[in-house]
Amino acid sequence: MPPRKNSIKDKIIRRLRRITSGRKIAIHGRYGLELAIDPEIVSPRITEEIRRGTYESLESAHILSAVQPTDHVLELGAGLGFIASLIQTSKPVAQYTAVEANPKLIPLIKETLRINNAKVEVINAIASTLPEEIAIGSVPFVVEPEFWASRKGGQGDRVKAIDFNALIKERGISLIIVDIEGGEADLFQYADLKGVRRICVEIHPDIGKAKIQRLFETLHRLDFVYDGRTSIGTVVMFAREVA
């Protein structure tokens, strides 16, 4: 998709928002979206990827072709808010919920959404289907120096756990986008995906072949099949199989 073309008015409005926010901004080299960054959280390497337009390049390559105007989208692992902003400024959907576990990213996500005038609800939590985690209401989460490497488990501070299935049901979710650094292996084991038509998952190879196979088998059991037309590399699209 070519970079978004902005009117002079749009550019002036976005520049004023950037000035008044007081945060540093990196402009995505491919789409022209402005992403809020903090040098203490976002490394120089990631900042350079944003400016070159290679940041989240695999996800952005095909995700726009998967969304429909009537979709209710749930994104797990919102990162810097790039995918949410891309969808809601290029091909807006009826409802968009972004869940991010890393509390340090929440202000950046919200600022990115504000700058780009993207309508998205942001939740600081981990979505889970495990009864014990939902009952306790929180899980440990390790925040790494490279924010994308942060993960559930270990000796990290506890982050709020929310019921994945309840979220899908309450919000009528039809499309799920998942980028949770290995957490995709177990996310769908007890999932109730009624009403969901597509699932986009970034698969992290370091989870191992057995867990990757289990992910495919679990989603197949739930009537989802691999969609090669809208999958690329490690970003895999699953579509509900129609009988």
pLDDT single digits (tens) 15-25: 555 544 456 99
Structural domain contains residue 159: yes
Cα–Cα nearest to 117, from 218, 242, 4: 4
Q: Which domain holds residue 235?
A: 55-240
Lowest model confidence (mean pLDDT) among 9-18, 37-46, 83-92: 9-18
> What mean pLDDT, rounded, does the chain reach?
89
Q: Residue 238, Cα to own-chain centre: how many angstroms? A: 16
**Please, what's the b/e burial string for 122-159 (b: 16 or more CB within 10 A of its CB; e: otherwise)?**
bbbbbbbbbeebbeeeebebebeeebbebbbeeebeeb
Structural domain contains residue 64: yes
pLDDT at 243 over 70: no
Structural domain contains residue 183: yes
Structural domain contains residue 122: yes
The half-sphere exposure of 201 on its side-chain side, counting CA atoms within 13 A, is: 23
Kindly give the residue spans of alpha helices, DSSP state H, lying in the chain.
8-21, 44-52, 57-66, 82-90, 106-115, 131-136, 164-171, 184-187, 209-221
Query: What pLDDT, in 10s, does the model give residues 167-199?
Result: 999 999 999 999 987 788 789 989 999 999 999
pTM of the model: 0.88
What's the number of domains the chain is made of? Answer: 1
CATH number at residue 170: 3.40.50.150
Structural domain contains residue 30: no
Structural domain contains residue 8: no
Structural domain contains residue 45: no
